[in-house]
Amino acid sequence: MHRKIRRKIEKGRIVVIKWLRKGYKAIIAIIIVGLCLVPFIWNDWFFETHTTIAEKVTYVGAFIASILLATNAYLFYKRNNLMAKGQLDTRFKDAAILLAAGNMSSELSGIHALHQIAVEASQTKDQKNYVSVIKNILITFIKEKSVIEYKKDEAGKMLLDKVKAPIVDKAHNNKSQIVLQIIIDKLFKDENCEIYTEYPTDLSSTVLKEINFSNAKLQGANFDKALLQNANFSLAQLQNARFENAQLQNVRFASAQLQGAHFWNAQLQEASFGLRPQLRDANFTHAQLQNTNFFNAELKNASFAYAQLQNTNFTNAELQGVSFYSSVDIDKAFFDTPDWNEYTDFTKTVFENKTMDELAEIMGYPARAVL
């Protein structure tokens, strides 16, 4: 007999736990509070002394009815929420199938559908995880369509340059430019793109040719080992972005926000940072910067240590606190009336065939220079 009672109690306990896990805590709380208040409402201090029992029953009945209505409203909300979640799951699955269909019209439909789901999901706390999942899917889609082939020796071993970065043989993406641009627009330029900014942006090792990133929100984005040809980052927000070991050919950064960006060992060919780019604390260590334009750039505390600076243009750039430590071919760079101060560091910088007096005529006398 006692065992049967214990079993029933245990079953009841399990049912209560399941209810609590399913989100019925609020319902139970409302009922308990309501029942606790009934004796107080029934008491004479709540009513006037001449209140009849029938009137008391009416008041208490109305109170209990309000509790039941609140409970019913909560259940209705939960039921609708579950239905919406189920509909979102179905839409997500259909959109993912479209994206993987392999033809452009289906892919574009899938991109738009996934983005719309992310926008809707971002407005509800328990569905917000869709946003990060969708961002990862679209980024992965870009990466899968990008191919970078590295040079190898006869034994098949990957060839490295002098700072142990792999040497690119060729790179291409096998997807329409339209599809890739639409994804970039949705993730980083759309009016609702802010929903994605709290999640990481990993575009490393991608091939992006003639992509327009103008006005894009790319703070902290990772472009390590990427190949970017004829890309436009004008007015983009690239604070703390990483371009380490990247190849940037004819890339424009006009008026871009690049504070704290890293270009360590990057190859920048014909890149332009004109029209007052913000490059404070940027790192160009070991970067190859031939023919790169920093005209009128704000470069406070940036590092060009060991950088190759042939034909690099620093005309009118702000160079306070900049380090050119051991940089190469600086005598072949352009410094027309630069703005620097005593903290600009030229230690071990190579000024071939130039005396300090000649350098002073070209770019002003640096306070610290060891030739």
Question: Residue 276: which residues within 8 A CB-CB, separation 6 or more?
Answer: 255, 296, 297, 298
Residue 185, CA atoms < 13 Å, CB-side half-sphere: 11
Which residues pair with residue 269 across a beta bridge?
249
Q: 137-168 pLDDT, tens per residue? A: 999 999 887 766 667 777 777 677 766 666 66
Return all residues near 173 (Cβ < 8 A) that are at least 6 apart. 145, 146, 147, 180, 206, 207, 208, 209
The pLDDT score that the predictor gives to residue 118 is 93
Q: Among the ranges 28-37, 111-120, 294-303, 331-340, which has the highest mean pLDDT value? A: 111-120
Residue bearing the bigger pLDDT, 241 or 5: 241
Residue 318, pLDDT score = 84
Nearest-CA neighbor of 100 among 145, 147, 142, 141? 141
Cα–Cα distance, 32 to 71 (Å, whole number): 12
Chain-wide mean pLDDT for the chain? 78
Top pLDDT among 257 and 354 is at 257
Q: Which CATH superfamily is domain 200-371 in?
A: E3 ubiquitin-protein ligase SopA (2.160.20.80)
Confidence of residue 67 (pLDDT cuts 50, 70, 90): low
Three-state DSSP state, 167 = coil
Contacts of 352 (CB under 8 A, 6+ apart): 329, 331
pLDDT band at 34 (very low <50, low <70, confident <90, very high): low
| Model confidence pTM above 0.75 | no
Residues 61 and 55: their CA atoms lie apart, in Å, by: 10
Model pLDDT, residue 329: 84
Output the pLDDT for position 221: 97
Span 274-288, mean pLDDT?
A: 88
Q: What confidence score (pLDDT) does residue 62 get?
A: 67
If pLDDT is split at 50, 70 and 90, which confidence band does 369 have? very low
Span 50-71, mean pLDDT? 65
Residues of the chain within CATH 2.160.20.80 domain(s) are 200-371
Q: Highest mean pLDDT: which of 61-75, 236-250, 291-305?
A: 236-250
What mean pLDDT do residues 312-334 have?
85
Give per-residue pLDDT as tens, 189-206.
Answer: 999 999 999 999 999 989
- Interhelix angle 129-144/104-121, nearest 10 degrees: 150
Any idea which residue has 């590092």 for tokens? 303
Percentage of residues in the chain with pLDDT exceeding 70? 64
Q: What is the pLDDT of residue 194?
A: 93
What SS3 state is found at 96? helix
pLDDT score, position 371: 37
What's the rounded Cα separation, in Å, for the pair 298 and 279? 6
The residue among 242 and 154 whose pLDDT is bigger is: 242
pLDDT of residue 180: 92
Banded model confidence at residue 177, pLDDT cuts 50, 70, 90? confident
